Structure 1
């Protein structure tokens, strides 16, 4: 619009630009003097255009000092990177912006003086509570048809009277969800994927019994989405049992049951001397188990002294610290690492199984990255399977960094147990302590064996080998990793 045109419409009270193709570049001309233009304009419609920037709109209407109603619905507002730093006049009380593309951060660019705010169908995935903290005059908010996933616990709006949240994506409402909206009288929250829990039941029971808030779409639009057994059940028909929802009663029953069980167990143990027999049986089985020695030559065809399991994030440490210390010094060991020794073209799992089976011991380099690695989990699992019926002395745990066993995922239950019941080697941060660390690790690995060809002839490591080298079972020195009594 020409600058002169703005000056000519001094008596204009309502202006409608709906159903055009207005874009940002036609909305605000920095060369125009907007101050004092259209001093009587109170209602402005920009509905169904191609606007993307709230900042441009705020600049174009900033000097319309009597503007109260602004409708910018059916645009693309919020999609432009300029939707921040908006400055509005202080008289806008109704802001209608449904069917746009707001990100939650864009709410901070809305006029804080509004009393009525319509942001329905704007693809919002969460509520930015910072806007509501500064919008101290809000009375009615429409957020229907968005993608809001949860009700924020710190959502405060002390003047709000009406709230519409139907058709979103949250499934939980508790009695505390709207406690910081003391004046709210009307709530519309149907057609959400509700999880029918005790907390949800308590909210609706409390709301309906106190009758302080009117659920405008109750009960027909409120259905259970979870659990599957209650799918599409009206929430008004969902009445959980007292035992399911009364935590104090559940705790009381659990404590009483546990106490009774422990008392019965103590009586049985006293009468039948169960602890003594259990310990004696364990010692007998342990002695017999250790009495069986591996038959000579059973492990003569093992190819590696140790299989190294580690996360790729720890590869630098393995290459720069572990391999030089064990392979490049006197009496070197033959180690298997996936980067170098896996057979190209074979499935990774096949490589893991084959090389673990062809290794006398397994060294696990434990770190936070190890815990998050799916392949490391596979390698630990196959090591456990190999150890069944043999011994976990073949498994060497090296903690590259401190790990709390209690923080490990449930799938690492065996590793949790091993960290809690066995000693392990910790990589020292001080340089002067590392020589002792390598001495400990070599002690656990045992003396390196002679390299043999498959035909059985012995060769030194410096000599040529026509066939793939194999490793005899190493002689063991003092065992560092042992089970705690």
Structure 2
């Protein structure tokens, strides 16, 4: 039957017929085989019938369409594969069917996940092939998607590589952790200084605009461990020299933020006296006070900072406090141990009367 063009075989074959059954039917244009087990279909089966235009393999237990990518059916325009076991379809198989205009895949157990994303996009986007009732195709897998429409699956989520995103996120987290640890260990004081430097700059700008007069002659920055010395010795400045001193315990406003109290005290005083000891160097708040006072010194270019050392501190112990060490090397400072028994002369010669400016060279150096 070399001129045979149409074959319809329904409930005839139990399984795939011989591969060479159509070797003499090269003019075959329509082939329908239904209710047959074609799950192991070999592409060689189509080698002798390249002119097929209609192919119907409904209810034939097909699990994949990959065989279509290995055959030459350039004239095929009608393909019906209903009631099979197709779960995932690779959209690239349709590239080997350039003439396809009609496709029926109804009643197949489709999987609604990213493995079908390409097929879903092809169904929605192609303008040549009519996919019959595609909007009615339902999901059978996975269980959470069962009963939903295949074309309702969100394919946009499939273009995001979750593994790659997790890798990038974890890498960024590790780098951020390492960077934070590095900054905290090596640069925390520089960042803290920069923050308070900027804060003081803003505060100073506001004060200059307002032209606020000084409320005190000097703000005394000291550590709580040196409180007894401050209470014992510094009253001399107020009682005998007429200074108005700003002290933490007495002049800080209750309920006000500590840094705001410190800033107001430094900029509300003509001078800042830093009573430096080992305890002072180890205090975080004292460090912030001298940082703020240093900014005012750099900003106003005036002699507004007085360093008073309560004890002899070796140069190597000042090395970690490079800003303090730098100021000690460049500026004159007061040394209480060198005053000895002549404390009265020390205060008389190293402090001026109220309203005057401290001399650049104090007595005890």
Structure of higher RCO (CA pairs closer than 8 Å, 6+ residues apart): 2
- The structure with more radius of gyration: 2
What is the TM-score when the length of structure 1 is the normalising length? 0.34
- TM-score normalized by structure 2? 0.45
